[in-house]
Amino acid sequence: MALAQISTVSSPRTRSDFVVLGAWSLPRIIHGFTTRESGVSTGSYCSFNLADGVGDDANAVRANWARWHAAYPQTRVARLQQVGTLADIAIAGVHVMAAHGARPHRIRAALGPCIGRCCFEVDAELADRFVMQIPTAAACCNPGRPGKKHLDLRGIIRSQLQQAGLEKTSIVDVGPCTRCNSDRFFSRRAAGGALTGLQMSFIGFEPE
Ligand SMILES: [Zn+2]
């Protein structure tokens, strides 16, 4: 996997640091992918969990958000509900951007840390649904143990984005497999299915 850029965000207010993985250096745009490092949450939420509703202590989540806002002052955050790949959300997202004037061949996409093909073994029926609904997914699917198959989620999303008009060279992978690297990234599979914290992907405009 390509890892384009790793930066450590230093907060002038708290002097705390946390790691952000990024894809590009662009004027006026802030973006990145957080890791689980350098927060205050404990246990399976250790330590930079930014998600409410996963069982973490609310005060710890607030403290982690304070750390994030200290590093990105004067930003307002709109939180989104993540929609699974089968619903073609990548293509829907490009269509919405195009409706607002974006030209798909000029859109860039960064696919952040997630479970890799190495570890994403699912029931064969689920994998077959992917292949039926997304024809290009066949190349991103290979046999696993009996009754199971491995899926390359990023590969599927990459093909969806290209189908929506993005250039192949405009789509980059950032970060490794989260399960293989569960010391740096939250991974529910690595935790045996237990609730864990969540890292965050973010993008937005630099405040004026
Ligand atoms: Zn893995």
The tokens describing 164, both together, are: 């929506």
Residues near ion ligand 1 (CB < 5 Å) are 116, 118-119, 177, 179-180
| Ligand 1 center from residue 151 Cα (angstroms) | 11
Q: Is the dihedral of CA 166, 161, 117, 175 positive or negative?
A: positive
Tell me how far apart the alpha carbons of residues 16 and 9 are, in angstroms, rounded to a whole number: 8
Query: Per residue in 132-190, pLDDT tens?
Result: 988 889 999 999 999 999 999 999 999 999 999 999 999 999 999 999 999 999 999 99
pLDDT for res 1: 29
* Centre of ligand 1 from the C-alpha of residue 120, in Å: 7
For the stretch 6-30, pLDDT in tens is 566 654 334 457 889 999 998 999 9
Structural domains of the chain in order of their starting residue, each with its CATH number: 15-205 (3.60.140.10)
> CA-CA-CA-CA torsion for 46, 52, 58, 61, nearest 10 degrees?
50
Question: Phi and psi for 202 in degrees, rounded to 5?
Answer: -145, 155
Query: Does the N-terminal peptide bond of residue 44 adopt cis geometry, omega within 30 degrees of 0?
Result: no
Give residue 56 CA to ligand 1 midpoint distance, Å. 25
Q: Ligand 1 centre and the CA of 104: distance in Å?
A: 31
Span from the CA of 191 to the centroid of ligand 1 (angstroms): 13
Tell me the pTM. Answer: 0.89
DSSP class of residue 91? H
The DSSP string of 151-165 is: E-HHHHHHHHHHHTT
